[in-house]
């Protein structure tokens, strides 16, 4: 059976699609509404293309592709969510851009890289809800920090003018934000506690020294409860903790360093976990100090500790025994 690669460029209200066969010929292209009814019509249209094995590809946009992914999973269609950065870099030098062309470029990428395509498995509803709640918490936390920093500035300026009312208003907003953050965290923990498979992994990894509630929750969400990532080294690479060599011939020899392509939010959380761990775990404290004595910078040594914590998280998750604290 011939393969048909369908590229979809998603926007808020509509999505453009382009179907390419194995000879790079356009079989079908068009536009549809990004609604349940529009997706239903699109699925009916592509299912009418007899004699083809369908593979749908689209960029992972975060929100706009969620309905498409849900409906495709429900209809048991084979589809992939592509990393936007990987897709952009694969195109090389391009001129001009519109949704119709982007749909063709996505289909062309799928055709050229069919050997690398992996079918996307929609996470369980509990994990999808947790991801949305955690994103809300991150936004609220960011705004809260900005408001607190602004409040410090207001206190300095208030030495020369009367800003008492304005300061009190800002304090009230910050207090309200903190209450909202706690409420979101409570909702996330309720989901974990009510889902046995999530609770089991959460209870295991939270016992790792340095790993708190937020770190444990973030790891579960990002790994789809340790199904998306099963290898700690690959997860370290995803977080931006894994060091890479930078050299070429005899002229380019840079120091080994981590890549800027990473999940920076998760990396920051793991750095905080590492900072906590070296205060409470003698083994990791010794490891951190050994790195410093070897001439490593503090941030590099902290990165190495964060790397160790991820290895411990994955090790504990895979076995039934609880985490054991080792003494130096």
pLDDT for residue 211: 93
Using one digit for the tens of pLDDT, what is the confidence trace for 190-213? 999 999 999 999 999 999 999 999
Mean predicted confidence (pLDDT) in 223-241: 91
pLDDT for residue 130: 95
Q: Which of 70, 78, 16 is nearest to 47 (CA)?
A: 78
Query: The CATH number of 2-112 is which of 3.40.50.300, 2.20.25.10, 2.40.30.70, 3.30.420.40?
Result: 3.30.420.40
What is the DSSP track for 195-254? -HHHHHHHHHHTTSTT--HHHHHHHHHHTTTTTS---HHHHHHHHT-SEEEEEETTTEEE
pLDDT for residue 262: 78
Using one digit for the tens of pLDDT, what is the confidence trace for 77-127? 999 998 888 888 887 777 778 888 999 999 999 999 988 899 999 999 999
C-beta separation of 169 from 150 below 8 A: no
Using one digit for the tens of pLDDT, what is the confidence trace for 15-74? 999 999 988 899 999 999 999 999 999 999 998 988 889 999 998 887 889 999 999 999
Query: What does the alpha-carbon distance between residue 8 and residue 106 come to, in Å, rounded to a whole number?
Result: 7
State the helix-helix crossing angle for 298-318 and 232-239, rounded to 10 degrees. 140
| Residue 218 pLDDT class (50, 70, 90 cuts) | very high
What does the DSSP 8-state code read for residue 163?
A: -
Residue 228 has pLDDT above 60, yes or no: yes
What does the DSSP 8-state code read for residue 79?
A: E
Mean pLDDT, all residues of the chain: 89
Specify the DSSP element, H or E, that contains 293: helix 282-293
Total-model pTM: 0.86
Cβ contacts of 310 within 8 Å, gap of 6 or more = 232, 235, 236, 239, 241, 270
Using one digit for the tens of pLDDT, what is the confidence trace for 259-277? 777 788 899 999 999 999 9
Q: Which of 322, 89, 45 is nearest to 205 (CA)?
A: 322
Q: Which residue ranges make up each domain of the chain?
A: 2-112, 125-194, 222-318
pLDDT for residue 175: 94
Query: What does the alpha-carbon distance between residue 261 and residue 43 come to, in Å, rounded to a whole number?
Result: 35
pLDDT for residue 95: 76
Query: What does the alpha-carbon distance between residue 29 and residue 93 come to, in Å, rounded to a whole number?
Result: 24
Question: 24 — phi, psi (to 5°)?
Answer: 65, 30
Helix, coil or strand: residue 82: strand
Look up residue 155 and give its two tokens. 């206190």
Calculate the alpha carbon distances from 61 to 66, 117, 219, 326 in Å: 8, 18, 21, 43
């Amino acid at each position: 059976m011939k393969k048909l690669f369908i590229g979809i460029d998603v926007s808020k209200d509509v999505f453009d699609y382009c179907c390419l066969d194995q000879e790079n010929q356009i079989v079908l292209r068009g536009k549809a509404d990004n609604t349940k009814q529009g997706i239903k019509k699109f699925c009916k249209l592509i299912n009418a293309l007899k004699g083809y094995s369908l593979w749908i590809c689209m960029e992972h946009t975060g929100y706009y592709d969620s309905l498409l992914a849900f409906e495709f999973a429900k209809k048991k269609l084979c589809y992939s969510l592509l990393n936007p950065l990987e897709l952009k870099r694969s195109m090389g030098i391009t001129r001009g851009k519109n949704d119709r062309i982007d749909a063709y470029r996505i289909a062309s990428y799928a055709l050229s890289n069919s050997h690398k395509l992996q079918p996307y498995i929609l996470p369980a509803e509990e994990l999808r809800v947790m991801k949305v709640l955690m994103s809300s918490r991150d936004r609220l936390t960011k705004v809260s920090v900005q408001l607190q920093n602004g409040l410090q500035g207001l206190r300095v300026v208030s030495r020369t003018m009367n800003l008492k009312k304005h300061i009190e208003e800002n304090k009230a907003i910050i207090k309200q934000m903190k209450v909202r953050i706690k409420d979101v965290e409570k909702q996330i923990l309720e989901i974990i506690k009510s889902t046995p498979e999530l609770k089991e992994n959460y209870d295991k990894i939270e016992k790792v020294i340095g790993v708190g509630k937020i770190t444990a929750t973030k790891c579960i969400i990002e790994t789809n409860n340790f199904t998306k990532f099963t290898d700690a080294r690959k997860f370290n690479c995803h977080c931006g903790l894994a060091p890479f060599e930078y050299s070429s011939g005899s002229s380019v020899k840079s120091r080994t360093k981590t890549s800027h392509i990473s999940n920076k939010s998760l990396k920051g959380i793991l750095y905080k976990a590492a900072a906590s761990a070296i205060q409470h775990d003698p083994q990791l404290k010794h490891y951190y100090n050994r790195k410093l004595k070897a001439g490593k910078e503090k941030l590099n040594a902290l990165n190495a500790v964060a790397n160790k914590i991820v290895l411990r998280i994955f090790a504990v998750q895979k076995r039934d025994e609880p985490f054991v604290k080792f003494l130096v």
